[in-house]
Amino acid sequence: MRREAPRRGNGYHPPLTVSHRALLVDGSDIEFRRLIVRLLQIEERLRHARAYLGRQAGLTGPQYSLLMAVAYLQGETGIAVRALARELRVTSAFITSESRRLIERGLLAKRQNPHDSRSTLVTVTPAGRRAIERLVPEVRAINDLFFGHLSRPAFVQAKRFLEQLLDGSRQALTHIAAREAHGSSLAATRRARNGRAQAH
């Protein structure tokens, strides 16, 4: 049986998913799509590494990240919950919830800010320091493998790229929240109209 030759020109060419010219290569967004896939792969691997390091200290991944962040940001007097939330780009409620568990484990301590009665300062306890120092050799090994292919210029460029991406992602999430709020209000209006129609 003679095999039919593949037809040309009948493949699907999806519409562009981005219109910013800097992100197009010869008018195509295929490299942009590959970038998205790679970012998702990196995020998944970062989470996997973080969860592994957390388990080595008997913690969850987020608790490990919080402990390390406090250790490196507390300075001489501690870091305020709100400042920590800004640095990690999470809510103060998240910091309060996760830090409570670390306080119960004796790894973090919390006290009122002597310069601001509305603020709470968080510090690493001696037990927390010992836990970090036991873990650091493995943290260093993972980080050296994960980021070891970066040159100094590539590291600087990657930092700049990620900061720009964070700014754009913030704008995208604001857009999404506005659209979702608009959609919710439209759905509520439709339900109200349907209710009134049924009542009549």
Mean pLDDT is lowest, of 80-84, 159-163, 178-182, 183-187, for 183-187
Same domain assignment for residues 65 and 120: yes
Q: What 3-state class would DSSP assign to 71? A: helix
**Mean pLDDT taken over the chain:** 87
**CATH number where 114 lies:** 1.10.10.10
On whether both 40 and 132 belong to a single domain, the answer is yes
- Tell whether 44 is covered by a domain: yes
0.85 surpassed by pTM: no
Domain-located, residue 24: no
Q: Do 173 and 121 belong together in one domain?
A: no
Residue 191's pLDDT band (cuts 50, 70, 90)? low
Q: Judge if 119 and 76 occupy the same domain.
A: yes
The pLDDT of residue 164 is 94
Residue range 33-67, pLDDT digits in tens: 999 999 999 999 999 999 999 999 999 999 999 99
Which residue type is seen at 139? V
Q: What is the mean pLDDT of residues 23-38?
A: 94
Question: 127 and 178: one domain?
Answer: no
Binned at pLDDT 50, 70 and 90, residue 18 comes out as: very high
Which pLDDT belongs to residue 3? 47
Domain interval for residue 68: 29-136
Q: How far apart are CA 196 and CA 1, in angstroms?
A: 67
> CA angle at residue 185 from 182 to 189, to 5 degrees?
140
131 and 38 in a common domain: yes
φ, ψ of residue 110 in degrees (nearest 5): -130, 140
In the chain, the number of structural domains is 2
Measured CA distances, 185 to 102, 141, 178, 180 (Å): 40, 51, 11, 9
188 and 120, same domain (yes or no) = no
pLDDT over 90 for what percent of the chain?
A: 61
Position 193 confidence tier, pLDDT thresholds 50, 70, 90: low
pLDDT digits (tens, 9 = 90+) for 97-128: 888 899 999 999 998 888 777 788 999 999 99
Residue 197 pLDDT > 60, yes or no?
no
Residues 118 and 167 in one domain: no
Instruction: Say whether both 127 and 170 belong to one domain.
Output: no
Report how far residue 29's alpha carbon sits from residue 37's, in angstroms, rounded to the nearest whole number: 13
Q: How confident is the model at residue 155 (pLDDT cuts 50, 70, 90)?
A: very high
Residue 62 lies in a domain: yes
90 is a domain residue? yes
Are 58 and 128 within one domain? Answer: yes
- Provide the pLDDT for residue 34: 96
